[in-house]
Structure formats: C-alpha cells, structure tokens
Amino acid sequence: MTTAVTGHGAAGQPGGGRDVARGNGGGGSRAAVLVHDVSGPVAHSELGTIGDLLEQYRIDAELVTVGAHPYPDPAGLDLVVVMGSDRSAHDDSVPWLSGELSYLRSAVAVGTPVLGICFGGQLLARALGGTVRRGERNEHGWFPVTTVDPEAIPIGPWMEAHFDTFTIPPGAQRLAWTPDAEQAFRLGPHLGLQFHPEITPTVFETWLGFWQARGQDKRLATLGVDLAGLRAEIARRADAARAACYSLFDHFWARARAHLAQRGG
C-alpha cells in the first residue's frame, strides 16, 4: 500500500513566492517516493523540503516503504525519488536491496526520471553501472562542493551524513565532489546526490531519534561529530538550505519534464 504525500506546504518559506509558477509545472504528474525502514508520519518527516516541493509542483506523490509495500509501475510515473537509509547500498544481504535495485533499473529502462538522495544516490549509481564502497572518511556536517554546473548543483554548503561513497556511473556526467567523496552525477534525466538537500530541523530530529535508538550517536561522537552543534547549525542554516534545495530541484525538474515531453509522458 502507498500513502499520498500531503501536508508539506510551508507558506512564507523561502521560495514561497514562486509557488504559483511551480503549480503550473507539475499538475497531473505522478511520483513514487521510496523510503527505508520507516512508514507513516515518521516517513513523511524524513522528506523535508523535498516534500514541500512535490506539493508545490502539484505532483501526486506516493510514499512507498521499500520491502513492505509494492512498487507502482514505473512506466506510469513521471518521477521516482529515492530517499536515504542507514543501510549500506553495497550490502546485498539487506533483504529488500536487490528488489529496489531491480526497480530502479526498470524505471531507468522505461525513461522515468530518478532522483537519488544519499543512499538513494548510491543505489542509483549501482543501477546505472557504478559501484558503492565504504569511504576513506565519513562526512557528517556542512560541506561546500566543487561543482561544474552551479545552476544544477550550487556550491552549498550542503548537509552530509554518510560513511559510504559511489563512483560515477559509465557515461554519466560528474557534477560535483568534495575531497573525500563524489557528490553528484547526472545521466540523462537522472540525478544522483550524496548530500541531503532536503534537510530541515525536523528531518534532523528524526535522524537523531534513530541514531540514539541504535547507539549510533555514540559512534558519531567518537568520530568527533558534535550532534548538539550540528543541530544548532541546521537551525541557523535552515532558510539558506531550503532556498538551495528549491534551486536544485527546480533545475532537476525542468530537465526531467523536458525529457518526459520528448518521451511523450
């Protein structure tokens, strides 16, 4: 079963003055938003600014908990969004991983644009022929990126929260990177990201709850991650982060819609 993504609008937030234009840019479009090991209100809380944008573009988005709910036919969709996970995208022992990988390959095969975020970007890289591995260093916090296309991927800084990293898939364009990890690639209408453009204070509190429940907060502390400081920085950067996410998604969705028009979608 799937759940419509609703209730994410945020009047008066940065970008809100462009809501009418966005409303004309997605009406009638359908999306699947894939989440991992969460459902219901907790899953909605992970969407952050991406949830806002789906609503403002009037995209009829279905929230799908991978491994618990069936996938919608990708041929009937205009967009697939793959959110993050604390699992490893290279760990084939994860029960639902192979099925999700096959689904992304099916979406690519029928020309449905895919946006992958962090774990989702890593899995999209695998679906397109790239690889995923444990990174030499973790990235947790705010990092500027080197970008070859600032309109598509602004320099940031962007919020990072990952141990693994992907390689750029064959034929894809390398869009952005940091000294320790690839950060973005594009292949046709598909966009893979290592960072978290969706971040909001609410998203971070959701993550923190999971980290504390699983003892990961202690692990992060041993790596020098100041979670209290990070919470304060996310709150301080909230408006700028939202505006950057709007810019990134606007550019991605314009390219995706041009592709769909050519496809006849």
CB 85 within 8 A of CB 92: no
Q: Does the N-terminal peptide bond of residue 157 adopt cis geometry, omega within 30 degrees of 0?
A: yes
Q: Of the listed 8, 36, 162, 196, which one is catalytic? A: 196
What span, in angstroms and rounded, lies between the C-alpha atoms of 77 and 90?
26
Measure the CA angle with vertex 238, ends 41 and 119; round to 5°: 55
Helix (H, G, I), strand (E, B) or coil at 184: strand
Helix (H, G, I), strand (E, B) or coil at 149: coil
Question: Is 221 exposed, middle or buried, given 0-12, 13-18 or 19+ CB atoms closer than 10 A?
Answer: exposed
**Residue 198 falls in the annotated catalytic set:** yes
Provide the terminal-to-terminal Cα distance of the chain, rounded to the nearest Å: 24
Unique residue bearing structure tokens 């020098």 = 224
Q: Are strands 114-117 and 132-143 parallel, antiparallel or unpaired?
A: unpaired
What span, in angstroms and rounded, lies between the C-alpha atoms of 122 and 89?
6
Query: Quick one: angle between helices 238-263 and 227-236, nearest 10?
Result: 70
Q: Would you state the structure tokens that stand for residue 258, as one six-digit string?
A: 């041009």
Q: Of the listed 44, 46, 118, 190, which one is catalytic? A: 118
**Residue 118 falls in the annotated catalytic set:** yes
Residues catalogued as catalytic: 118, 196, 198
